[in-house]
Amino acid sequence: MTTTTTNIKSTSDNKLAVAKNLNTPVDVLVKLSTDKHWHVRGAVAKNPSIPVDVLVNLSTDKYSDVRTGVAENLNTPVDVLVKLSTDEDPFVRKYVAKNLNTPVDVLVKLSTDKNLSVREYVAKNPNTPAS
């Protein structure tokens, strides 16, 4: 590995650690939400300190790992969870099913998802009604 590659990885790793830190100032998280590295944006999406408008923007990221972070965040607005419940990636739908703020009607719909993991997460969500 060249020195340049090492420095880029180190910088990326540092940004990732900052994005995961619960004490990172909001303005820094907002800046990191547009980072070129998807894993940094994904960590920002999971951070409970990120503003809702940034979560909304990240919910349309081209990388499913970023959308999964949004689905996992308990501050994600319900309308975004509803939209993500139809995401093509089953990991995104799985984390929508896990989110405690996902509406019951969405959980019921996800209970018939073609992906077994999604259905398992629906079953584990305490807000899922008994059938």
pLDDT tens per residue across span 66-113 = 999 999 999 999 999 999 999 999 999 999 999 999 999 999 999 999
Residue 119 lies in a domain: yes
Number of other residues whose CB lies within 10 A of the CB of residue 28: 15
Burial 83-105 (b: 16+ CB within 10 A, else e): bbbebebbbbbbbbbbbeebeee
- Tokens encoding 30: 């907002």
Cβ pair 30, 5 in contact under 8 A: no
**Per-residue pLDDT at 4 exceeds 50:** no
Q: What is the DSSP string of 118-131?
A: HHHHHHH-TTSPP-
Asked, for residue 104, whether it belongs to a domain, the answer is yes
pTM, entire model: 0.90
Residue 90 inside a domain? The answer is yes
User: Could you tell me if residue 130 is inside a domain?
Assistant: no
Q: Is residue 28 part of a domain?
A: yes
**Tokens 């070129």 belong to residue:** 36
pLDDT at 11: 83
Domain-embedded: residue 27: yes
- For position 34, which CATH number holds? 1.25.10.10
In whole numbers, what is the pLDDT of the chain averaged over residues?
93
Q: What's the helix, strand, coil split of the chain in %, to 5? A: 65, 0, 35
In a domain, 131, yes or no: no
Q: Is residue 18 included in any domain, yes or no?
A: yes
Domain that holds residue 8: 3-124
Q: Please give the pLDDT value at position 10.
A: 53
Number of domains in the chain: 1
